[in-house]
Structures are given as C-alpha cells and as structure tokens.
Amino acid sequence: MIMSFVFDTASADDCERVWDLICQLEKCRLPFEPFREMFVKQVKSTHYCCLVAREEADAPACAILNLRFENQLHHAARVAEILEFIVDEPHRGKGIGAALLEEAQRVAKEMGCVQLEVTSNRTRTEAHGFYESQGMVNSHVKLTLPFDEIDLEDIS
C-alpha cells in the first residue's frame, strides 16, 4: 500500500524524534547529549542532509534518511553516503522507504554527486534485499576496527 507522505529536511526541532528512530535502528539507547550536539552541527552543515518523512507537515518524523556528501579522490568526484535510514516500524510496508530513497537520490544528484552509497550491517538482510530491489548493487566489503567499547543499553 503506497501512501502519501511529506518530505522535509530535518531541523534542530526534530532532534529527539531522530534520536528515537536511530535508537530503534541500532537497538540500543544512545547517549542523548552527544547525539544532540552532533545532530545540531549536522543540520547546519552543507556536508549533511537529514531527510525526514512525515504523515503531514507538522507531524513527527515517521522515517529518516541521513546523507553525507563527500569529495572522494578515488572517484575524483562527490559521492553521497546514506549514514542512517529507518522507517518507524508501524509505517513499514507503505512504500515510504522507497519514496524516501528516491528523494535521497534526487537530493544527491542536486548536490552534484555521481553516486549514492550505503553500508549496512551484515545482519540486516531484509535491508540488503530492499536496497537491491531499488537498484543498488552489492559491490564492496567494509571492514571496521573499533577503538573503544561503548556501554549502551540494549533495547531489542
């Protein structure tokens, strides 16, 4: 079922709702104050764009897609990367994810990007299927080296 949603760029007023959705995505309670500080900086930066979807103009966000724009030497061009992307559980299956991803593509092209990338945890197989169904190609491997263990409350 495809429904109509309002797309917007997040503002500082959206911080708590975006935090809540990202905690849902990560299945843990992230520390709010450092999150808020980063979020406020990101919404002011031209290197980021946090897209939100709402059921109506003044409603809280029911989905977010956070983009980073970066000049990459190995492309000799600007690339957009999806950093966080979540549709609130009660709103899934309504076409909002596909519509928000399409909006992200539009914004990335408008920002002069030659490509849209996403890194997704290997356990999120449903997300991988979604991205591939939207035309994205699994072409890379990402390796990480954590420096510090962060003690976060599990909310799964």
pLDDT number for residue 100: 97
- pTM over 0.85? The answer is yes
The answer to whether residue 1 is domain-embedded is no
> How far apart, in Å, do the first and last CA atoms of the chain sit?
27
The answer to whether residue 147 is domain-embedded is no
Domain that holds residue 56: 6-135
The answer to whether residue 149 is domain-embedded is no
The answer to whether residue 153 is domain-embedded is no
Pairing of strands 77-87, 113-118: parallel
Question: What is the side-by-side order of every strand in the sheet holding 113-118?
Answer: 6-9, 48-54, 61-72, 77-87, 113-118
Residue 8 is inside which H or E element, if any? Answer: strand 6-9
Q: Which of 54, 74, 73, 75 is nearest to 10 (CA)?
A: 54
151 and 118 Cβ atoms separated by less than 8 Å: no
> How many domains, the chain?
1
Q: Is the pLDDT of residue 12 over 60?
A: yes
Here the CATH number for the domain that contains residue 125 is 3.40.630.30
Rg for the chain, CA atoms, rounded: 16
pLDDT number for residue 149: 75
The answer to whether residue 118 is domain-embedded is yes
The answer to whether residue 155 is domain-embedded is no
CA pair distance 8, 119, nearest whole angstrom:
23
64-113 residue pLDDT tens:
999 999 999 999 999 999 999 999 999 999 999 999 999 999 999 999 99
107-155 residue pLDDT tens:
999 999 999 999 999 999 999 999 999 999 999 988 889 888 776 777 7
Alpha carbon separation from 24 to 8, 70, 81 (Å, rounded): 21, 27, 20
35-63 mean pLDDT:
97
